[in-house]
Structure 1
Amino acid sequence: MNQTTSRMLTRVKAVYLYIREKGTVSTSDIADEFGTTDRTVQRDLHILTHNGLVESPVRGKWTITDKPVHIS
């Protein structure tokens, strides 16, 4: 795995853990926390959504799902 992919996966994992810790957060909250653009956060959230790990019950607000997750 190349360095860019590794860095992206690390950030996606950190975003998931951040949402899990905070409860419900906005896209802008995540961007501010990680020092990235809203677009980068949207790409990360797309990965998490595609895998059934987060959902957006209200537009722009994110929370984790009930899907069991093993974090290593």
Structure 2
Amino acid sequence: MNPSTGRMMNRVKDIYLFIREKGTVSTQELVDEFEMTQRTIQRDLNILLYNQLVKSPSRGKWRVTNKKVKVS
């Protein structure tokens, strides 16, 4: 795995863990917390959404799903 892919995977994992810890968060909260652009955060959320790890109960709000995840 190349270094940029590794950084991206770590960032996606951190975003997932942050959402899991906080409950429901907004996209803007993620932008502020991770100091990334909204586009980067949205791209990472799309990865989590594709893998059914997060859902958006209302526009711009995110929470984790009940899907079992082993975090290492």
Instruction: Tell me if both proteins adopt one fold, taking TM over 0.5 as the criterion.
Output: yes
Greater percentage in strand: 1
Pairs within 5 Å for 1:40-59: 40-59=40-59
What fraction of aligned residue pairs are identical, expressed as a percent? 61
Which amino acid counterpart does residue 20 of structure 1 have in structure 2?
Answer: R
- Unaligned 5+ runs, structure 1: none
- Partner of 1:30, secondary structure, is helix
Give how far 1:20 is off: 0.2
CA distance in 2 between counterparts of 1:41 and 1:23 reads: 17
Q: CA deviation at 1:32?
A: 0.6
Residue 16 (structure 1) aligns with: 16
TM-score w.r.t. the length of structure 1 is: 0.98
Number of residue pairs aligned between Structure 1 and Structure 2: 72
| RMSD (Å), alpha carbons | 0.4
1:9-51 deviation per Cα after TM superposition (whole angstroms, max 9, x unaligned): 0000000000000000000100110010111000000000000
TM-score normalised over the length of structure 2: 0.98
Q: Which runs of 5+ in 2 are unaligned?
A: none
